[in-house]
């Protein structure tokens, strides 16, 4: 059965810390891996990764994919209280429907 | 990226009643996706709605319980029928469109449903 596993499930850090969130997957027909930030209800898109070893970067956030070892990491440097959220990882299946398989998320709390 | 207007934002409903959730997209899209997120859980795909054809439902979801309409390329509705407390969830619509970074899935603002 296809699955996406995120770790840790929750994390509490202090402002200024650097965090690394993990996402491993077992998906038969892989197309891409996506990271989202969910603060209230709607997830907001962070990154889409399709190729191994190419880092995507947006401000203090960066992410990279390893298609051989079947995992991705999301790094957040110099964390701020506004980074507190649930970070979701999803793998998009290849095919017409492009179904997303979601992990449970990592709940990040950044304390001042 | 697309902008999706989802309504209502939240509702408290009596068991046995039905609620229709609407999503309006500012771009034409072929596929719209409807998700449910139960408390403490991740997102679960309910169905994929294509314009001009019946929605494709995932295992565990049926049309009688979650009828979907897709009258055109910018609009869709999901109805939660004969509600029970187990239907209390966040419901989200989503589309995927190309943007500057490649493409990604954009979500509506979500509907928080509580069934009492």
- For the four alpha carbons of A107, A109, B2 and B3, in that order, the dihedral sign comes to positive
Residue of B nearest to A86 (CA): B42
Portion of chain B with pLDDT greater than 70, in percent: 94
- B51 pLDDT band, cuts 50/70/90, is confident
Q: Give A76: exposed, middle or buried? Use CB within 10 Å, 0-12, 13-18, 19+.
A: buried
Percent of chain B with pLDDT over 90: 75
Inter-chain CB proximity A42 and B48 less than 8 Å: no
CA distance B5 to B77: 12
Minimal Cβ distance to B107: which of A43, A47, A104: A43
Chain CA centroid to CA B35, Å: 5
Average pLDDT, chain B: 91
CA A41 to chain centre: 17
3-state secondary structure of B86: helix
Residues 6+ apart with CB under 8 A from B116: B12, B13, B14, B15, B85
Which is higher by pLDDT, B97 or B15?
Answer: B15
Closest-CA distance of chain B to residue A78, Å: 23
Look at residue A112 in the predicted model and tell me its pLDDT.
94
Average pLDDT score over residue span B17-46: 92
Length reported for chain A: 112
Distance CA B78, CA B56 (A): 13
Chain B CB contacts of A98 below 8 Å:
31, 96
Residue-level pLDDT at B41: 87
Contact A103 B42 (CB under 8 A): yes
pLDDT-derived band at B50 (thresholds 50, 70, 90) equals: confident
Q: Which range scores top for mean pLDDT: A39-43, B22-26, B50-54, B98-102?
A: B22-26
CB contact (8 A) between residue A45 and residue B1: yes
Residues 45-64 of B with CB under 8 A from A: 45, 48, 56
Nearest CA in chain A to B102: A48
H-run or E-run covering B76: strand B75-80
Whether B77 contacts B5, CB under 8 Å? no
Q: What is the tens place of the pLDDT at every residue in A46-98?
A: 999 998 998 999 999 999 999 999 999 999 999 999 999 999 999 998 876 67
Q: How confident is the model at residue B70 (pLDDT cuts 50, 70, 90)?
A: very high
Would you call A97 an interface residue with chain B, using a CB distance cutoff of 8 Å?
yes
């Amino acid at each position: 059965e296809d699955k996406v596993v995120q770790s840790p499930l929750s994390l509490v850090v202090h402002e200024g810390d650097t965090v690394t969130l993990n996402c491993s997957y077992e998906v038969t027909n892989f197309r891409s891996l996506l990271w989202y930030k969910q603060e209230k209800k709607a997830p907001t898109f962070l990154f889409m990764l399709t190729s191994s070893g190419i880092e995507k970067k947006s401000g203090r956030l960066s992410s990279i994919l390893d298609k051989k070892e079947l995992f991705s990491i999301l790094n957040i440097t110099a964390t701020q209280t506004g980074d507190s959220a649930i970070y979701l990882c999803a793998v998009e299946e290849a095919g017409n429907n492009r179904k997303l398989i979601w992990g449970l998320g990592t709940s990040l709390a950044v304390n001042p | 990226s697309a902008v999706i207007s989802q309504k209502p934002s939240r509702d408290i409903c009596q068991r046995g009643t039905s609620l229709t959730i609407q999503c309006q997209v500012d771009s034409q899209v072929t596929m719209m996706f409807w998700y449910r997120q139960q408390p403490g859980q991740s997102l679960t795909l309910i169905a994929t709605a294509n314009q001009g054809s019946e929605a494709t439902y995932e295992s565990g979801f049926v049309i009688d319980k979650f009828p979907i309409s897709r009258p055109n390329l910018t609009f869709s509705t999901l109805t939660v029928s004969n509600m029970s407390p187990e239907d209390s969830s966040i419901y989200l619509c989503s589309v995927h469109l190309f943007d500057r970074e490649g493409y990604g899935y954009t979500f509506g603002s979500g509907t928080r449903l509580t069934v009492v």
